[in-house]
Amino acid sequence: MITAAAQERENYLNASHGLKSWFLTKDHKRIGLLYLATITLFFFIGGAFATLIRVELLTPQGNLVSSETYNKLFTMHGVMMIFFFLIPSIPAVLGNFFLPIMIGARDLAFPKLNLLSWYLLVVGGMFSLYAMLAGGVDTGWTFYTPYSTTYSNGYVIATALGIFIAGFSSILTGLNFIVTIHRMRAPGMTWFRMPLFVWAHYATSLIQVLGTPVLAVTIVLLFLERVFHLGIFDPARGGDPVLFQHLFWFYSHPAVYIMVLPAMGVVSEVISTFSRKAIFGYGFVAFSSVSIAVLGFLVWGHHLFVSGQSLFAGMVFSFLSYFVAIPSAIKVFNWTATLYKGSISFQTPMLYALGFIGLFTMGGLTGLFVAALGIDMHVTDTYFVVAHFHYIMVGGAIMGYMSGLHYWWPKMTGRMYPEAWARLSALVIFLGFNLTFFPQFILGYLGMPRRYHLYPPEFQVLNVLSTAGASVLAVGYLMPMIYFIWSLRYGKVAPVNPWGATGLEWKTSSPPPVHNFDETPVVTHDAYDYASLMAEEVEVG
């Protein structure tokens, strides 16, 4: 009976049909799904490159691919994962879909710009992908000069142009979110009643709008230098190659927070829901997002401790880097404190969120190592750094993304996924991840440099462990892919509020109607007010 009723009800998925209704849609929910399909494709392409890298590193000699190919593989892996998967991931899929609903809006402020953003990402992604597969790029995703401007023979400019294009997607999405949060909140949705997911996206959007243009400028300079030999970065013409690193990291360090802040937003929602308790220290968690966004702009120089910047600059950037650690620590402590005396249940989103806290804690704590000047001299450009940033970007950002995807999947699709399989996937990913990346910390401290095709034989055992972990991880990522698709047809029909969560998205039907709500909601409570939610349920039930 419930099934029949749910199927009859008009929602954003069945309201219109045909390709045109999808490719020209202005509905933020449909655009969210377009993003989901796009970045899932990019994720598995980036993952395929990672697989080849890990298989190659099984042996020290380099007998699977040539050095040239290996260098292209890690470049393509980095470019695909960072610019075309991680940067858009949570904001463009889950943010797009849920940010308007969570503040009680009918759509984003600029629906057409939102659609344009998706097209820009697709065009940029395809452009870079084609350039990398057709000609290849071997500069690493960091494009350091003068290698990228003078010495590399690859399709550097074409690849960078794809990133340039996709950058506008990111800028427009951030702009859209900022305006939407400022202008389109439902009556009663004050700033401090907003879910922390929205706060996290507000902070993220600030970075996207303020940081991404610097990346665009940097790419333009790279183009001018490579094509017209202007001498901006070329020392033979009076330029400075290290200037490129400053410009690049001015965007690319804050970009790490574009990836991880939204994941923190997801985790705040999920921890609260599955503890049935308001987030401990709501205000501190909200403001820590904003302070991470601001402080994140002041620490780029910690990527240059051995690049020949001045002693004084090194000290200032190390000092400031430690400041970013504090708001991150505040979040972890507050999430943990939320569990205290909660009512904790262990559905899949919660398992992923707890996994996030564990891995992000380890990633964050190892960040203290690389921020210490004396340690960084030894570990920078080694596998220690590779392990550290994968703990943040995979252990953090992707665990958060998976948590959010499982949390909201019933709302997005109207279907439940198979819970047992999903819990298993969370476990497999957590274990596979640690087995892949923990050995890399040891490798890095031993001194194995990153981006090495050939390596000394004494590093082999740890590399084999890492590759073994990567295969477990690959299984872990394929599982959700299969059961999510399976659930679209065979999954149980999702109720309006399967988790007993607060938040406006759980008050509208699953999947939501075209305009999100049948009538504009009026907000009368703070976020995470489980007492009134349960009182309502008693009244209704």
Partner 1 sequence: MDRFQLFPVQASTLAPEVDHLLYFLLAVAVFFTLLIFGAIFYFAIRYRRRSENELPHVQHTGYTLEILWSVIPFGLTMVMFTWGASIYFTASKPPNNAIQIYAVGKQWMWKLEHAEGQREINELHIPIGTPVRLTMASEDVIHSFFVPAFRTKQDVVPGRYSTTWFTATKPGKYHLFCAEYCGTNHSGMGGWVYVMEPMDYQNWLSGGAVEGSMAESGKKLFEQLACNNCHKDDNSGRGPILVGLFGKQVQLAGGGSVKADEAYFRESILQPQAKIVYGFEPVMPTFQGLVTEEQLVQLVEYVKSLGPKPGTGPVDNGQKPVPEKSSTAGSTPANR
Minimum separation from the CB atom of position 307 to partner 1 (A)? 5
Smallest separation (angstroms) from partner 1 to the CB of 481 = 28
Candidate ranges 177-185, 205-213, 299-307, 409-417; the one touching partner 1 (CB under 8 A): 299-307
Q: What is the CA radius of gyration of the chain?
A: 23
Is 382 in a helix, a strand, or coil?
strand
Window of 124-132, 171-179, 372-380, 507-515 that interacts with partner 1 by CB under 8 A: 372-380
Buried b (16+ CB within 10 A) or exposed e, 88-100: bbbbbbbbbbbbb
- Does 21 bind partner 1 (CB under 8 A)? Our answer is no
Q: Which stretch binds partner 1 (CB under 8 A): 109-117, 119-127, 162-170, 329-337?
A: 329-337
* DSSP annotation of 25: -
Residues with Cβ within 8 Å of 477's Cβ and at least 6 positions away in sequence, in order, are: 43, 47, 429
Helix (H, G, I), strand (E, B) or coil at 418: coil
Residue 188 sits in the site that holds partner 1 (CB under 8 A): no
Within residues 114-143, the interface with partner 1 by CB under 8 A covers 138-140, 142
Q: For residues 442 and 387, what is the distance between their CA atoms, to the nearest angstrom?
A: 9
Using CB under 8 A as the binding rule, the residues of this chain from 373 to 392 that contact partner 1 are: 373-378, 380-382
**Range 159-178, binding partner 1 (CB under 8 A):** none
233/483 with CB nearer partner 1: 233
Of 28, 77, 253, 277, the residue at the interface with partner 1 (CB under 8 A) is: 277
For residue 146, cis peptide bond before it (omega within 30 degrees of 0): yes
496 binds partner 1 (CB under 8 A): no
For 267, residues 6+ apart whose C-beta sits below 8 A from its C-beta are: 335, 353, 356, 357, 400, 403
Identify the residue among 106, 450, 492, 515 touching partner 1 (CB under 8 A).
450
Task: For the chain, give the number of residues.
Answer: 541
**Residue 280 is a binding residue for partner 1 (CB under 8 A):** yes
- Among 332, 448, 330, 327, smallest CA distance to 387 is for 448
Residues 34-73 that bind partner 1 (CB under 8 A): 62, 67-68, 71
Q: Which is nearer to partner 1, 22 or 322 (CB)?
A: 322
- With contacts defined by CB under 8 A, name the span among 22-30, 427-435, 449-457, 473-481 that binds partner 1: 449-457
Note whether 287 binds partner 1 by CB under 8 A. no
- Residue 541 as a binder of partner 1 (CB under 8 A): the answer is no
Q: Which is nearer to partner 1, 101 or 443 (CB)?
A: 443
Residues within window 457-476 making contact with partner 1, judged by CB under 8 A: 457-458, 460-461
Those residues with Cβ within 8 angstroms of residue 493's Cβ, 6 or more apart along the chain or in another chain: 2, 3, 6, 7, 414, 415, 416
> Quick one: which of 111, 135, 213, 358 contacts partner 1 (CB under 8 A)?
358
CA 123, 125, 127, 129 torsion-angle sign: negative
The rounded distance, in Å, linking the Cα atoms of 16 and 57 is 49
Output the CA–CA distances (angstroms, integers) from residue 224 to 221, 227, 229, 307, in the order listed. Answer: 5, 5, 7, 23
* Complex with partner 1: residue 140 or 213, whichever CB lies closer: 140
333 counts as binding partner 1 under rule CB under 8 A:
yes
User: Exposure pattern of 381-414 as b/e (b: 16+ CB <10 Å)?
Assistant: ebbbbbbbbbbbbbbbbbbbbbbbbbbbbbbbbb
Could you please report the per-residue DSSP string of 221-255? HHHHHHHH---SS-GGGT--HHHHHHHHHHHHHHH
Q: How far is the CB of 175 from partner 1 (least distance, A)?
A: 32
Q: Which is nearer to partner 1, 67 or 520 (CB)?
A: 67
Site membership for partner 1, residue 291 (CB under 8 A): no
Q: Which of 135, 342, 495, 513 binds partner 1 (CB under 8 A)?
A: 342
Site for partner 1 in 226-245 (CB under 8 A): 235-236, 238-242
Q: Which of 22, 110, 130, 445 binds partner 1 (CB under 8 A)?
A: 445
